[in-house]
Amino acid sequence: MCSYLIPLAIALAGALAGCSKSDMPASQPESKPVEATQSESSKPVLDACALLTNEEIASVQSEEVKETKKLEESEGGLIVSVCQFSLPTPGNSIILRLVQRDGSEGRDPRQGWNEAFAPEKMQNPKETGRKKIALPEKIPDLGDEAYWRGNSKSGALYVLKGNAYLRLALIDSRDKESAIKKCSALAAMALKRL
């Protein structure tokens, strides 16, 4: 039991940390800047916990949600809403982050998205210490743009839609193909409410 608590605490601490440029994935070279429309910038701020129902999560994870925790913060003209859906099996728990503009004068989330996905950043993987950070994998047919970013131990799905983006992660995403499939299914459900 204790062996689950330390990695879970570390993953939760990282997920609940503020949204930063380093948390955003880089892009595929064919990525193009995405323009926001006026109506998108004036949408009301949404709560990340309201984007998925317990039934939808159970349909993907085969377990009922045990507890939901939310955190919301405003930083640099952005509202970051984070929701942790805790499940009985800790590794199946989900963390959903929603980044939106903070009011009509707030920073455009697409600006940060476009900077993170700039083609020049996709030419060479970054090196940090001893290992390379893998380039993100483009996920087709999800939102305006979607990418999986991860390594052999963890990963997350980033999805842009309208004037906001999501980051969806499973606490245990070592099985990359399964994690991508589950996160994509959950993201498709969440995008209906975005």
Residues contacting residue 147 through CB under 8 Å, at least 6 positions apart = 25, 27, 28, 117, 136, 137, 138, 139, 157, 158
Predicted confidence at residue 130, as pLDDT, reads 52
Q: What is the pLDDT of residues 50-88, one digit of tens each?
A: 999 999 999 999 999 999 999 999 888 899 999 999 999
Q: Using CA atoms, how far apart are residues 5 and 166, in angstroms rounded to an integer?
A: 26
User: In 3-state terms, what secondary structure has residue 68?
Assistant: strand
Contact in structure between 150 and 176 (CB atoms under 8 Å): yes
- CB atoms < 10 A from the CB of 158, how many? 29
pLDDT at 21 over 70: no
Contact in structure between 29 and 118 (CB atoms under 8 Å): no
pTM exceeds 0.85 for this model: no
Contact in structure between 104 and 42 (CB atoms under 8 Å): yes
pLDDT at 112 over 60: yes
What is the overall mean pLDDT for the chain? 77
